[in-house]
Structure 1
Amino acid sequence: MKLYIKYMVSLRCKMLVKEELKKLGLDCISVELGMAEMQEDITDELREAFRINLEKAGLELLDSKKDILVEKIKNVIIEMVHHAEDIPDVNDSDYISEKLGYDYTYLSNTFSEVKGMTIQKFIILHKIEKAKEMLLYDEDNLTEIAFKLNYSSVAHLSNQFKKVTGFTPSFFKEMKFKREKNLENL
């Protein structure tokens, strides 16, 4: 039996889910990307107790098939943008469709219906977050960042960056240096 849980992909959350299952005397095979796979079926009472314990910890047990699918889509995108060594050099829609085994149109329509935004918008928001992180903490220049995030050009990345943040990438990076300089002068 599989239980679907809404949580950020982090070691802390995975450990929390495992602990809550253990408290209830449930053995899990694995806890990965928002899903806990159980060895056996669980009763409705245990499922409800698990749901309540998760909510106390700020997590959510998902019941709706559409919500579960949207969480899977989000997790694939987050893993693709933030946790993969390199963003796959294939069309985003093909990658997501292949990973989840569904037609992209179905995935896209379900995502838009539940989240109120397109999958592409969600990907752009996460790519810009990754770009901001890389600008602040990496040694990469904008050309390298655009390449690593599979943008067709630096101009394309810059335009999306400005649209999402209101700043150009160079201004954003310059703000970091000004903050660091101000901290040094304190």
Structure 2
Amino acid sequence: MKLYIKNMVCDRCKMAVETVLDKLDLNPTNVVLGEVDLKEESLTDAKYQEMKTALENLGFELLEDKKKAAVAQIKAAIVELAHYTKEPLKVNLSEYLSNKLGTDYASLSSVFSVEEKNTIEHYFIQQKIEKAKELLSYGELTLSEIAFQLNYSSVAHLSAQFKKETGLTPSQFKQDLKRQTLDKI
């Protein structure tokens, strides 16, 4: 049985979800960002509600609507790409998402835009800028190294997108250091 879970955006989130499922004697066979495979083929209504409530108590949302589930999958794939993938993307974003989610990009884009009032591309930029903020706050990399790590063509391109998204230059941001949690983007 496959479950889609909103706000599961980091490794700690995955561990929290696994803990909840284990406490409920459910058997997750695979837990990735935004999605869980259970060994069980179906659940009783009572067990399903118990799981749903336990997840909600931790700030997660069990997605039952297919469109919302698709959006959660898109977001999880983008978060994984922007925050946890070290290698440069070898294909464009649309091809990456189509291959990863097994759906044509036009359908993914349409659902995402309607449900989120945002484009996939802009959401990806927002995630990359959030990652840039994280790296800037650590103070270990130069802006040039950050631009390279996030696959920007130049420091100027990163700086322009950063300013457009935050209203601050990267240097100004370093002085303020205000970040958002990934699930709030």
* TM-score when normalising by structure 1: 0.85
1:148 equivalent to 2:149? Answer: yes
Output one character per residue of 1:98-126: Cα deviation in whole Å (capped at 9) or x when no partner. 11111111111110111110011101111
Kindly report the root-mean-square deviation, in angstroms, between the aligned alpha carbons of the 2 structures: 1.9
By how many angstroms is 1:10 displaced? 3.0
Q: 1:27 aligns to what?
A: 27
The aligned runs of 1:5-154 (5 Å cut-off) are 5-40=5-40, 41-154=42-155
- The verdict on how the C-alpha distance between 1:90 and 1:144 changes in structure 2, with shifts beyond 3 A counting, is farther
Comparing both chains, which one has the higher relative contact order based on Cα–Cα distances under 8 Å and sequence gaps of 6 or more?
2
- The verdict on how the C-alpha distance between 1:134 and 1:2 changes in structure 2, with shifts beyond 3 A counting, is same
Gaps of 5+ in 2: 178-185
Work out the CA distance in 1 between the residues paired with 2:55 and 2:131: 29
Output one character per residue of 1:6-48: Cα deviation in whole Å (capped at 9) or x when no partner. 2333343223322322333322212221222111221222112
Work out the CA distance in 2 between the residues paired with 1:154 and 1:15: 36
By how many angstroms is 1:144 displaced? 2.3
1:163 equivalent to 2:164? Answer: yes
Work out the CA distance in 2 between the residues paired with 1:141 and 1:54: 39
Give the letter for the 2:2 counterpart: K
By how many angstroms is 1:138 displaced? 4.4
% identical aligned pairs: 51
Aligned partners of 1:89 and 1:150 also within 8 Å:
no
- The verdict on how the C-alpha distance between 1:16 and 1:118 changes in structure 2, with shifts beyond 3 A counting, is same
**Match of 1:88, SS?**
coil
User: Which structure's CA Rg is the greater one?
Assistant: 1
By how many angstroms is 1:150 displaced? 1.7
Aligned partners of 1:14 and 1:31 also within 8 Å:
yes
Gaps of 5+ in 1: 178-186
Q: 1:180 aligns to what?
A: none
